[in-house]
Chains A and B, each alone.
Chain A
Amino acid sequence: GDSVTQTEGPVTLSEGTSLTVNCSYETKQYPTLFWYVQYPGEGPQLLFKVPKANEKGSNRGFEATYNKEATSFHLQKASVQESDSAVYYCALTPNSNNRIFFGDGTQLVVKP
Chain B
Amino acid sequence: NTKITQSPRYLILGRANKSLECEQHLGHNAMYWYKQSAEKPPELMFLYNLKQLIRNETVPSRFIPECPDSSKLLLHISAVDPEDSAVYFCASSQSGTTNTGQLYFGEGSKLTVL
Residues of A within 8 A of B (CB): 32, 34, 36, 41-46, 49, 51, 89, 93, 96-100, 102-105, 107
Bound: A23/B105 CA distance, A: 22
CB contact under 8 A between A32 and B100, given known A43-B1, A43-B107: yes
Q: 17 interchain pairs (CB within 8 A)?
A: A41-B107, A42-B108, A43-B1, A43-B107, A43-B108, A44-B89, A44-B103, A46-B103, A49-B100, A93-B100, A93-B101, A97-B101, A98-B49, A98-B99, A98-B101, A100-B44, A100-B101
Q: Which residues of A contact B106 (CB under 8 A)?
A: 43
Q: Which of B93, B103, B104 has the most CB of A within 10 A?
A: B103
Q: Tell me whether chain A's interface is mostly helix, strand or loop, or mixed.
A: loop
Interface size class of B (residues with CB under 8 A): 20 to 34
Residues of B within 8 A of A (CB): 1, 30, 39-42, 44, 47, 49, 89, 91, 93, 95, 97-108
Q: Which residues of A contact B30 (CB under 8 A)?
A: 98
Contact B47 A43 (CB under 8 A): no
Contact B41 A104 (CB under 8 A): yes
Contact A44 B42 (CB under 8 A): yes
User: Which partner residue on chain A sits nearest B4 by CB separation?
Assistant: A43
